[in-house]
Amino acid sequence: MIVRPQRLEQGDTIGVIAPASPPKQEPLEKGIAFLENLRLRVKTSPQVSKTYGYLAGTDQDRLEALHQMFSDPSIKGIFCACGGFGTSRIADAVDYDLIRENPKVFWGYSDITYLHTAIRQKSGLVTFHGPMLSSDVGTAEFDNLSKKMFDQLFQAQVLRYTNEISRLVAFSRGEASGEIVGGNLSMLVNSIGGPFEIDTKDKLLLIEDIGEEPYRIDSFLSQLKMAGKLEQAAGIIVGDFSEAEPKKREQSLTIKEVYHHYFSSLDKPVLAGFKIGHCLPHFAIPLGTKGTLSCRTKTLVIEPGVS
């Protein structure tokens, strides 16, 4: 059952946590200032400033911060400071009953994909794939379209992505509707074989990544194909793959050639070029709501993520 979190209102208190790696503090402060300009009160978990190698504190530190924010009735939404590494380390210890009983806005992307998948499949909660406070919102490059995407948290609204936002390229034909799932490609592949394996059956699968060369993207898509995830999906939303230029080999396939190999023979819509992922502008979307993807009109229409 799909559970939409309650919309935010001006004056609400939201929490900031770092479930993966530690954020850079200066841009984080600027990201928090942006939320405050939206007339939100911000409560930052002390865990955000902790470090444990490449993690923002120990697994227990990060798990407790997540649980505290969901259990605190004064907190109406939870925003992740940054991505990085480590959410898969805590997913099996998360109290999904707690989340189911206390549904609220949960926002982030990249490594947070693992938590998006686990939370949705275990509790039914709609979560949000959107820019991070430290690595995106708090930077000088943060743009107006990305800022506007936060409006969907305050008012239930249908999102519509067209060629006017970015050039969209169809790798197959057709139109399909289904629940939108997915996110960071490497995290989705990492889930296969575990208790939080991504379920793509009759879903619209979103994929995006950063810093992965074509041969790596090829291997990830091969794994999804062999696991049946591409065939089971109703359609595929190809987001941004930044910093994907070949480096290790003089000769390489292009990303478009890799896409063509895996997508062109699929009897379902596959549309690429969405500014969703490690990019600015970053078109934030809810995960778990119904979307309609059309190669004919080159559009993606998404139902509201809040109630």
Q: Residue 284's closest CA among 297, 293, 273, 275?
A: 275
Tokens 């109703």: give the residue. Answer: 234
* Active-site entry in 116, 129, 208, 282: 208
Q: From the candidates 21, 45, 88, 110, give the one annotated as an active-site residue.
A: 110
Name the one residue in this structure whose structure tokens are 């969405």: 274
Quote the CA–CA distance of 14 and 45 in Å, as a whole number: 11
Q: Does residue 281 have a cis bond before it (omega within 30 degrees)?
A: yes
User: Which residue among the candidates 45, 179, 186, 278 is catalytic per the annotation?
Assistant: 278
Other residues' Cβ atoms within 10 Å of the Cβ of residue 280: 16
Tell me the C-alpha distance between 202 and 205, whole Å. 9
> Catalytic: 208?
yes
| Contact call for residues 10 and 132 (beta carbons, < 8 A) | no
How many angstroms separate the Cα of 64 from the Cα of each of 18, 47, 81, 82, 131? 11, 9, 16, 17, 23
Alpha-carbon distance of 116 to 43, in angstroms, equals 21
Residue 110 annotated to the active site: yes
Q: How is the beta sheet containing 13-17 ordered, strand by strand?
A: 41-44, 13-17, 75-80, 105-108, 127-129, 285-287
Catalytic sites, residue numbers: 110, 208, 278
